[in-house]
């Protein structure tokens, strides 16, 4: 859930991109997962909005399935964030031109 105020890669370059992984369990029936490559600043803004949100969050997918959290902070537990280097970002974006894969659910604030 954390990540990335001033993270550096192994060469000392400041991390500008993050790999954000989403994983949640839908009603003990199946897992919902995916990932997205995003700018670090976009992630930090999104995370701040979630931390400030105190109401229920419901994100629908499929025909009538939804992932539900009682607060933005609870919804953040579905994410794992890893700082990635420019080289890693380029490789991933070459393999996944849209910058994402699977069911990457984001709250529309």
The pLDDT tens digits of the residues spanning 6-23 come to 555 556 667 799 999 999
The pLDDT tens digits of the residues spanning 34-93 come to 999 999 999 999 999 999 999 999 998 888 888 999 999 999 999 999 999 999 999 999
Q: What is the model's pTM?
A: 0.81
pLDDT band, very low/low/confident/very high, at 105 (cuts 50, 70, 90): confident
b/e string for 41-76 if b means 16 or more Cβ within 10 A? eebbebbeebeebeeebebeeeeeeebebeebeebb
User: Is residue 5 pLDDT above 60, yes or no?
Assistant: no
């Amino acid at each position: 859930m954390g990540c990335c105020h001033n993270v550096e890669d192994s060469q000392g370059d400041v991390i500008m991109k993050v790999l954000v992984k989403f994983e949640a369990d839908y009603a003990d029936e199946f897992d919902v997962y995916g990932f997205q490559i995003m700018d670090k600043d976009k992630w930090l803004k999104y995370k701040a909005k979630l931390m400030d949100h105190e109401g229920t969050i419901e994100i629908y997918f499929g025909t009538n399935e939804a992932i539900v959290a009682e607060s933005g902070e609870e919804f953040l537990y579905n994410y794992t964030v890893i700082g990635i280097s420019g080289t890693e970002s380029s490789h991933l974006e070459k393999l996944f031109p849209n910058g994402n894969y699977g069911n990457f659910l984001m709250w529309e604030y």
